[in-house]
Amino acid sequence: MLSTFNRNKSKLVIACLAAGFGVHLHSLAQAANDSGTLNINGQISSTTCVLNMGDTAATASGVKTLQLGSTAAPAAAGAAGATFGTAQSVVFTVTNANGTTCTFGGTPANTLWDIGLTPGTYQTVTAGGNVLLLSSGTSATGAASNVGVLLKGSFGTGVTTGANNLNLNLVNPPYGVMLSGSTSAPAALAAQSIAVTAQFARTSATVAPTAGAFSATLPLTVWYK
């Protein structure tokens, strides 16, 4: 049974400076109320889960930034979907307020968690078999063109990078697109992590990417099952 126990709303923002290619990846997590939560089947829990983003400052502020940096645009010829520039990753975990492994609760008890992208709030393109995230400002003056971002996800104990290309068009109600790479339901155990890696990729084999601004916002939901 799906429970809304401690479901956190977050968002993932990807952006870069017009001076060159670069990307900021933010996750804004809202802390739950420590006094207890009421889930859909009526159980009251005295614990809440916090979306931990890998370092104390980021978790406390609710903002995680991944800077891919500036990189020269690749030559015109190249495979569609091919990545370039430096990949960066973020590792998510869920913990209790004191930093210990989260106790999910629920009736029946929840045992798994995941992070879902909210569908219908971003643009994509398929290039070379990969589904790439497009900037929300691709038609704006000064925006980068012919470039997308490839997102990879994975989960497990001690994972540090995403390993599986995420199909941003594969929406699985009600979860959306899960960052673990699962295509059916939440997949990570409480003690496991979810890693997401972002890297620039070409959207065309014949037209080179151009330098410019890149930005996109991806609302997230933390699911427990």
Q: Is the dihedral of CA 162, 205, 122, 30 positive or negative?
A: positive
The pLDDT tens digits for 108-166 are 788 899 988 877 778 899 999 999 998 875 455 667 788 888 999 999 999 999 999 99
Average pLDDT, the chain: 75
- Give the separation between CA 125 and CA 168, rounded to whole angstroms: 9
The pLDDT tens digits for 82-100 are 998 888 888 999 888 778 8
In total, the chain counts a number of residues equal to 225
Closest CA to 195 of 64, 28, 5: 64
* Domains of the chain, start order: 9-224 (2.60.40.1090)
The pLDDT tens digits for 200-211 are 899 999 888 887
State mean pLDDT over 50-55.
80
- Which residues in the chain belong to E strands, given as ranges? 9-16, 24-27, 37-38, 44-45, 50-52, 83-95, 112-117, 123-127, 130-134, 147-156, 164-165, 177-178, 188-189, 193-202, 214-224
Backbone φ/ψ region at 212: left (φ over 0), alpha (ψ -120 to 50), beta: left
Q: Provide the pLDDT for residue 132.
A: 94
Q: Provide the pLDDT for residue 9.
A: 53
- What tokens were used for 148? 């997308």
Over pLDDT 90: what percentage of the chain?
A: 27
Q: Provide the pLDDT for residue 8.
A: 53
- Band of the pLDDT at 186, cuts 50, 70, 90? very high
State mean pLDDT over 177-185.
92
Closest CA to 105 of 205, 4, 218, 19: 4
Q: Provide the pLDDT for residue 35.
A: 30
Range list of H helices, the chain: 56-61
Q: Provide the pLDDT for residue 124.
A: 92
